Amino acid sequence: MHIVSQRDQERKRGKRYRSISFHREIKKEKRGKMREIVSIHLGQAGIQVGNSCWELYCLEHGIQPDGLMPNNTSNDSFGTFFSEGRRGKYVPRAVYLDLEPMVIDEVRTGSYRKLFNPNQLISGKEDAANNFARGHYTVGREFIDQCVDRVRKLADNCSNLQGFMVFNAVGGGTGSGLGSLLLERLSNEYGKTLKLGFTIFPSPKVSTAVVEPYNAVLATHSMIEHTDIVVQLDNEAIYDICRKGLRLEKPSYRNLNRLISQTISSLTTSLRFNGSMNVDISEFQTNLVPFPRIHFMLSSYAPVVSSSRAYHELNSVPEITNAVFDPSNMMAKCDPRKGKYMACCLMYRGDIAPKDVNTSVGSIKTKKTVQFVDWCPTGFKCGINYQAPTFVPGGDLAKVKRAVCMISNNTAVSEVFSRIDHKFDTMFAKRAFVHWYLGEGMEEGEFSEAREDLAALEKDYEEVVQDGQQEEEY
């Protein structure tokens, strides 16, 4: 009798060990399937866009501001942006970097203070003072090793790192100077890993600093070499979208950032949720970038409707598809009708049928206002995801069943560069404000080198259109 009970105990113990090892294997398998992204938020603009993004991600995955998930499901979709910590707490895979403490202090004391790992909120004591050279050479140089170490730790903890998302503005000193320095370091350490930039460029009329053209030209020079895709954003263009779509007389930065966050969320839904046509983030690069230097994109999102107007709008698939091609919905101030499309990525989400997508894309191809270069006959990359857009409580955007985000490569983006270059030339002809940069260890030759690189980039965009026209003549 005693022997039988002992055998039973051994059998039970064996079963327990087998079940434990089986669950471990499942966890390992799930980790292998995860596709992680590390987000890097630089300077005031990058951090404020980041705050809106993490607010939205938390709502999409059912994570509370303290990092806990009350309705814990077996679904591991959160793994793209969040890592699982102790006691069921979820921590963003994000690093916040700023040379002055004020903006990050707002995060440290705000409603999401318990969400972030304090080690990933890194602030200095001295501002870059709208000076690229301070962010890149003097103040930023002392700060950069600490930043890279923290990014490296996050990247090393990923089982299948998809890429880095870098959020910054190139008009300020931290976003341009420290941003360029960090991208150079990431390029050296993670050369093959995708670096996707969401960059706020100076607006044509709205300006926050006199020296914006200098910072923008110097930072763009670095981005040409050290990023794989840059999505151009522009406060003035997004102001106009908010005024027109949401009927807001005086949109705030929070209104703008919430719209940007919906666009960024739509790009990554395929990594996180199920769909009939999923698009991996590396597929953007393959389909959108025909030549390495030509990787500056336009973005648009639809529908942009307020809660009061939502019940009067149909928001059908053809309607929202037409809306993202409307020049007034582009998030950078340039007219795509003046240029030609090289490629378009349409990311649909929500209640979408593939048949409707094919019909809508077919009708867009027949429009004369949407012109493609002759050497790219296909032009469209489509993704469909079943996860509907998430409504932000207290936000301006209405709750909708379906939405689409478009990232497109259009030759009209050279308008943005030529506008900045013109302002740069006007100031640099008089060497106005240059002494502030030289005093921080920069050389005057770096200005000329950066400006020549942007002139070459403008020329590249011209040649892309001319190649097709020359072939037609022959």
CA distances from 431 to 214, 295, 367, 417 (A): 11, 30, 47, 20
Distant-in-sequence, close-in-space partners of 117: CB < 8 Å, separation ≥ 6: 91, 92
On whether the CB atoms of residues 277 and 355 are closer than 8 A, the answer is: no
- Helix pair 414-429, 212-226: axis angle to 10 deg: 130
Beta strand pairing call for 380-385 and 341-350: parallel
What are the tokens at 446?
């770096």
On whether the CB atoms of residues 68 and 401 are closer than 8 A, the answer is: no
Q: Please, is 209 exposed, middle or buried when counting C-beta atoms within 10 Å of its C-beta (0-12, 13-18, 19+)?
A: middle
Please give the positions annotated as active site. Answer: 283
- Distance between CA 371 and CA 378 in Å, rounded? 12
- Distance between CA 289 and CA 230 in Å, rounded? 10
Beta strand pairing call for 296-302 and 380-385: unpaired
- Distance between CA 88 and CA 59 in Å, rounded? 17
